[in-house]
Amino acid sequence: MPASSREIPYPPRVNLARIPTPLEPLSRLGEKLGIELYMKRDDLTGTALTGNKVRKLEFVLADALECGADIVLTCGGAQSNHARATAIAATKLGLHSRLLLRTPDPSSPPPLEGNIMLDRLAGSEIVWITPDEYKRRNEIFEREASALRKSGRKPYIIPEGASNALGSWGYVRAAEELLQDLQGLSGGQADPFTIIHAAGSGGTAAGLIVGALLTGLNARIISVNVCDDRDYFLRAIGKICEDMIAAYRLDLDFSREKNISVVDGYVGRGYALSRPEELALIYDVARTEGIFLDPVYTGKAYFGMVQELERDRHCFGERVIFLHTGGIFGLLPKADEIAQIL
């Protein structure tokens, strides 16, 4: 049975995000696509803390403080939004941070720009590792944490994207917000709608799915993967949902087959690698609605949504909410590529 907000067993959290974020109609883009289109503006959760990661960090960093940590460790790509948000949020809470960031050649790391510059400005330590080492990041986490403990520090490890059973509660709260947002729309909650978002580690999708089940949100939740493939995300999202249900004893009817929907095929050249047509669509959204998508996550997901709608205008139903999960700083390292399409 759907629960009221008072009955939802939220873990402790710290206040970091500027929420609730607005739900905005995108009439011009919606008219082009032939749908009723809205955007949930989670790019407005903060200035430096912009994006979806801060919602998850509210819960994860509350646990870090409860555990007495003085430094947090996390990981991601070179221009990781999650790493940037973690570095800044940790500093706000009086914690230090160490980031494991992947790059092809750690001896020649990327330039100090975009998220990397913000990481450093926030005082974070960066440990550059190769893509092969990144596959063994849990081992590296333990090595780094062990060394820190021996030096008298109290480390706390945050997984990629803060996408675990704890961090995903941030998107249970977002599902509650969406329930309230719908009250002001024509048709309200009675008419079904589809939420489309970028999937990079699975925690946002898991939180939305569990949140919809807990609140009775009448939504189909679709993830457009920006890395890996559909099977990977069925496993990743499914595991987080199942971990949440087990750890917090949630009485929910969940199955991977019924509740998880992944639209594959839009990874393109690879994670954080852009195609001209993806950047051209980011440009179109910016000049049409004054909204900036990012090339790593939201740009790819929006591109995937548009391509699917061009094949079948009815594939997502009549009402669509695109969840803008932030990432504006990821545009800055793409300046030379973007210049080619301006």
* Statement: residue 4 has pLDDT above 80: no
- Whether pTM exceeds 0.85: yes
Residues 124-154 have pLDDT tens digits of: 999 999 999 999 999 999 999 999 999 999 9
CB atoms within 10 A of CB 23: 18
Give me the percent of the chain exceeding a pLDDT of 70.
97
Residues 83-121 have pLDDT tens digits of: 999 999 999 999 999 999 999 999 999 999 999 999 999
Residues 190-204: what's their mean pLDDT?
93
Q: Tokens for 105? A: 């050649």
Sheet of 71-77: strand order equals: 125-129, 96-102, 71-77, 155-157
- Cis omega before residue 20 (within 30°)? yes
Q: Using N-to-C axis directions, what is the helix angle for 53-66 and 169-182, rounded to 10°?
A: 140
H or E element, residue 338 = helix 335-339
Which residues, in sequence order, are CB contacts of 105 under 8 Å at separation 6+? Answer: 130
> Across the chain, what does the average pLDDT equal?
96
Q: Tokens for 78? A: 């070179």
How confident is residue 186, by pLDDT bands cut at 50, 70 and 90? Answer: confident
In this prediction, residue 1 carries a pLDDT of 46
Beta carbons of 237 and 260 less than 8 angstroms apart:
yes
Task: Compute φ and ψ for 154, nearest 5 degrees.
Answer: -125, 85
In this prediction, residue 190 carries a pLDDT of 66
108 is catalytic: no
Query: By three-state DSSP, how is residue 83 classified?
Result: helix
Q: Of 4, 5, 27, 80, which one is the catalytic site residue?
A: 80
List domains and CATH numbers for the chain: 23-51+164-339 (3.40.50.1100), 53-162 (3.40.50.1100)
How confident is residue 6, by pLDDT bands cut at 50, 70 and 90? Answer: low
* Per-residue DSSP letter, 217: -
* Statement: residue 7 has pLDDT above 90: no
What does the angle CA 60 – CA 259 – CA 166 come to, to the nearest 5 degrees?
10
In this prediction, residue 192 carries a pLDDT of 85
**Nearest Cα to Cα of residue 122 among 97, 102, 142:** 97
